[in-house]
Structure 1
């Protein structure tokens, strides 16, 4: 019932929209001008034929629309999809005497929609009406579609409960009883000679039609009784299957749940190598397989965490060793003694030394790029006072507050000075460049103008710092920085090497600083020891 009424209501809207589209078309305007201006007969006939072709095409492509017609009341001219001159179809109908703009009209068991074409250039023009007649066969199909039960019937009523289509005796009795009911849509029960019936009425559609379905209650209860019998049989079978399922559950599912529980307790007790070796051929295969993968992944994460802790501890030990070994500090103090008569030089060295050692003694796991660069600048200033070194740091201001793990730049700068500048008498340039990349990553490069390295030497160095284990006789600086970058960020953050623009060596790496928000919210610990060298 609801679907049929929706279809009827939708078709009413389609017809009203179609009427508006026709009257708003340019062809309609040209035809009206031809009639009003009394153009020559040839031009008039051609415009009439064009309009008739439009009507015929719309009639073919729109189900539920049986006829289109234009009617001029004063001259009684008509252009119809059936005939140009209206010898058949709507021309012979009484509906022409009751035309109203934008109204639905039911006349002689036919349903029409009328819409007036209004001209604005003259008030006394013969303004035509567009008339669209609904197709009775389509309405009959909609009526029959509303019936949902065998043995029931449908009515299509209008005005004072009159039927749009012929009815049988049973439907005629229902139709007569309908006059006693109110016009509210819904369900009702009626009694006629054949027994009691349930009647369902729809709303009144915009075109004035009401759909009514009626079913004998005796036939309606028959499916209910059948459902009762079927439900009883299904419940009996379900109880039997339930008993069998409980037996299978106790022997199979419960046993495998006990296995999973036992293995989880093993993990809880510290056994990180336990595995479920016997995988069943059922739903638990996926659960057990995922358990095994989870244990393997946990072991990998545990080992990586241990590795990071070892690297951090190693870096902290090296920093303590640097603090205990007074070589760096003695050289700096010797410089102060040398320039004792120059207060500005003494003050500058003291300031940079204090900044250098203050940064080393901080207890932070994460710092900012600005602080890391400030620390590197202090180191470069100290080295520039002691040696013939010139340096340049190029960094946009908006990068400074991004997070980074500490003590990354200083070991690379120290390596450039020790192996780049000190190995070449004319070398004296250090350049640090920090930039945004097109992928919103941050790239770092440290360049010198020393002798540089050959491709073979770079390949050997890359292989050495990429190993998970370092030999004792090998330098720890580059290896430590490379391993920390890979462990904290990813493999993509490892160190790279290339020739600098002066012919020396450029060490570079790229990171994605994506943990700043988590650090600010306290989701990442910020109290671990800093890895000073």
Structure 2
């Protein structure tokens, strides 16, 4: 894997490593924050349960005292006894009940006062025998908890037990008033530090708290409350700058919520500081890594890219390219070797080009040697035979024979056009028409006349049409050459009305032409040569095709693939 490590992968690995580190730290930080918050919540729930237990005990105590005095026989028969007793004895009876009420308060810090009120006689006995203490008792008709003037009361009425389906009016009411300050002091036990606060919320309206409660938080918490008696519920509250978790416990007997809320920012500040320090360290590592990568890029990667670019230029055929940059640094030896290699390649291509040109010239000369002797002999014999009785024929033969050989002497330039190649074929046809009865026709569209073409590619096919077509069929005398362009193909068709070939003979001929080696002997060498030259120069889509024409003779189609926009034939011969 290390051997396959290159610059891009190294950068990707470095970035991946940083992202992985940041992700792991983020996850760890989140887990730490979550664990700390969960521990805080568990501690707050335990404190809330503890205060709830104390409050349950206080309510049970108040309930017990209310029931105790509501069912007490001295209280129950007090009014009837007062009527029968003297003033002194009735006062002593009254003092005895009040003393018992006061003795109850001595053993409880949560109860502020206890009072008994007889509705019909409007008699009131209490540990706090004031007019204000009497008022809450007047409108009480049933037992239970009530909040009156921001104080919490438990009322018990006599008769304490009502018969089913019957409601008897209350004879007297026993009221136990809880100590409000003591209840508020319990809120301290429900919080864990200065970042927390607790309060009682009665009937979604009245609030008991030792410190001020934010109005927005109180409104949000009030909308979220749910009266589930057996569960401590948790809510989340967020502001623009602070985050809180809120715990609530519903106290059903007094229809009250005991609520605590804690600002988590103070607890998470150490984690935030460590996160900032870590992020600063990661940024420092990232900066250092980028500096190292940039240095590596300047000293190594850029030179490697330069070398790759130069190799691409050499691959595209630019053998004059050289590396002149950064030759005095670590890559000096490598760049010098590259320049030496390209120079050697350039010299090799020059030698190869010279050798190729010499080989082509030799091949062309060999082809000319194959064409010239036999044709020249026949032409000279024709001139000799008609010199005495047809001077005009001699002049025409001499003219076209001269033009024919003058064309051959210029082929060392390897630059001919389609028009000049057809003119060369026409000279050959004229010479042949003078020595035998024969007609010919050449059709060349003007727009294709100047297209470049490899030399001696049409004349061998025309010569083959005469020697093996017309001369092999009695009465045959016609040869046509027509040129067309269809999309990216140039089509040159040479047709004769000779004896032609059968389909089997055509298939055998095509098989011989597709062979990599030339046919044995001299028969078929010219067509094989033309077919191979077409394919080698213009690609595999080019070559010769054979078919039977409407005269019954043979048509030879020269296909030249021409994939250019302007229709110019690519010729590097």
TM over 0.5: no
TM-score normalized by structure 2?
0.39
Please identify the structure whose Cα radius of gyration is greater.
2
